């Protein structure tokens, strides 16, 4: 660890290969928490490069539990969290809408870290199992077009980092990489991030990770989701090329709402919001999901424009297809619990 720590403390960035080696040392049992904490702090002070983020993600994914077989054209729409908005579970709700539009979604997520309710909390409340095996996850993903991958289940090696992260009490590189570590081989991705200065950097990471197409968002109010409160900043990655642009709700025919209008609550409240949106209830929650699901469909390439993506998102909800995806996931979870 010392050679990598010395380099980072002199504000030199590591290559992908160097970061992979450093990450393997960091996860090694004989490495002390003091060494881990020093390395993570030095990285934060220097500023994490695209190569360093890619290197760490590669090592986490090589230590992850994987599906028994590859499924083609899978996407995820996870955000980093950390925006402090206390919003309802936007990306989780949007995932079912995207799946209802005919796109396979491997929804990767965790319990609450910086928000009141994480994706795992709200889905567990709805009856979705968090403990499916790799084989069961593969089966439901193939049959239903959407499955949930609970991060602690698929990343057992991360347990070794929990204590040092809690002791440091500051955001580190690990607060940026959650959406990047999905163990499923993704073709496309919608990635929300709370740091606007990281948009292009994260696009470069997704390119290095092999995404054919991806959309990276920092919303109005610096949310890690698209917001209807004003101007959203985005970077589109397509075949290695990056395109920056901004988007307002007016440009895609959606109303404007202050971010206060989309605040959530505990897992019970957020489950009710999610279920209400999928049942077709109108209002700021639905409109926010339409924007985010529409962007997800556009990120996947199924829609040529964001407006077309939003139209497909509306159809997914209003036809009942999005709700059916959730109900199938709950039914499958119940069958697993009952040993059927």
**Separation between Cα atoms, residue 261 and residue 286, nearest integer Å:** 11
Q: Flag whether 91 is marked binding.
A: yes
Q: Flag whether 182 is marked binding.
A: no
Q: Flag whether 225 is marked binding.
A: yes
Q: Flag whether 227 is marked binding.
A: no
Q: Flag whether 89 is marked binding.
A: yes
Q: Flag whether 267 is marked binding.
A: no
Q: Flag whether 165 is marked binding.
A: yes
Could you give the count of Cα atoms lying within 13 Å of 170 in the half-sphere of its Cβ?
Answer: 11
**Separation between Cα atoms, residue 164 and residue 180, nearest integer Å:** 21
Compute the Cα dihedral for 38, 40, 46, 52 and give only its sign: positive
**Separation between Cα atoms, residue 146 and residue 161, nearest integer Å:** 29
Q: Flag whether 13 is marked binding.
A: no
Q: Flag whether 72 is marked binding.
A: no
62 phi and psi angles, rounded to 5 deg: -70, -20
Compute the Cα dihedral for 168, 76, 99, 140 and give only its sign: negative
Q: Flag whether 103 is marked binding.
A: no
User: What three-state secondary structure class fits 263?
Assistant: strand
Specify the pairing of strand 241-247 against strand 232-238.
antiparallel
**Separation between Cα atoms, residue 54 and residue 208, nearest integer Å:** 7
63 phi and psi angles, rounded to 5 deg: -95, 0
Q: Flag whether 110 is marked binding.
A: yes
Q: Flag whether 111 is marked binding.
A: yes
Find, among 177, 175, 156, 179, the residue nearest to 95 by Cα. 179
Which residue is it, tokens 């095996």?
A: 133
For residue 287, give both structure tokens: 């409109």
Query: Can you list the alpha helix ranges (DSSP code H) found in the chain?
Result: 2-9, 16-27, 33-46, 50-62, 90-100, 119-126, 134-144, 151-154, 159-168, 174-177, 199-208, 267-278, 284-300, 306-318, 321-337
What secondary structure letter does DSSP report for 1? -
Q: Flag whether 224 is marked binding.
A: yes
Residue 332 vs residues 133, 277, 335, 338, 340: alpha-carbon distances, Å: 13, 22, 5, 10, 9
Instruction: Indicate the annotated binding residues for 5-phospho-alpha-D-ribose 1-diphosphate.
Output: 79, 82-83, 87, 89-92, 107-115, 119
Cite the annotated binding site by residue number.
Answer: 79, 82-83, 87, 89-92, 107-115, 119, 165, 224-225
Annotated binding site for Mg(2+): 91, 224-225
Q: Binding site residues for anthranilate, as ranges? A: 79, 110, 165
């Amino acid at each position: 660890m010392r050679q990598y720590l010395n380099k980072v403390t002199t504000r030199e960035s590591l290559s992908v290969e160097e970061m992979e080696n450093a990450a393997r040392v960091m996860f090694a049992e004989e490495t002390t928490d003091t060494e881990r904490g020093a390395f993570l702090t030095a990285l934060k002070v220097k500023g994490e490069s695209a190569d360093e983020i890619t290197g760490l993600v590669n090592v986490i994914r090589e230590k992850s539990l994987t599906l028994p077989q590859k499924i083609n054209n899978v996407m995820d729409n996870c955000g980093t969290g950390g925006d402090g908005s206390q919003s309802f579970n936007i990306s989780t709700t949007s995932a079912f809408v995207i799946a209802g539009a005919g796109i396979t979604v491997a929804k990767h997520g965790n319990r609450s870290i910086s928000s009141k309710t994480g994706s795992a909390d709200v889905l567990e409340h709805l009856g979705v199992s968090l403990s499916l095996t790799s084989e069961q996850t593969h089966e439901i993903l193939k049959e239903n077009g959407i499955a949930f991958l609970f991060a602690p289940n698929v990343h057992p090696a991360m347990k070794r980092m929990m204590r040092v992260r809690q002791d440091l009490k500051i955001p580190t590189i690990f607060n940026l990489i959650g959406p990047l570590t999905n163990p499923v081989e993704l073709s496309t991705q919608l990635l929300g991030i709370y740091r606007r200065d990281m948009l292009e950097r994260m696009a470069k990471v997704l390119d290095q990770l092999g995404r054919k197409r991806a959309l990276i968002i920092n919303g109005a109010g610096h949310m890690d989701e698209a917001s209807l409160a004003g101007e959203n900043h985005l970077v589109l990655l397509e075949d290695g090329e990056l395109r920056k642009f901004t988007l307002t709700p007016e440009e895609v025919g959606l109303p404007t709402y202050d971010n206060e209008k989309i605040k959530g609550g505990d897992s019970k409240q957020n489950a009710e919001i999610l279920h209400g949106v999928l049942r077709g209830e109108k209002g700021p929650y639905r409109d926010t999901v339409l924007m985010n699901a529409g962007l997800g469909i556009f990120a996947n390439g199924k829609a040529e424009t964001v407006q077309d993506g939003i139209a497909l998102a509306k159809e997914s909800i209003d036809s009942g297809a999005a709700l059916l995806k959730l109900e199938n996931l709950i039914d499958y979870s119940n069958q697993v619990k009952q040993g059927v």
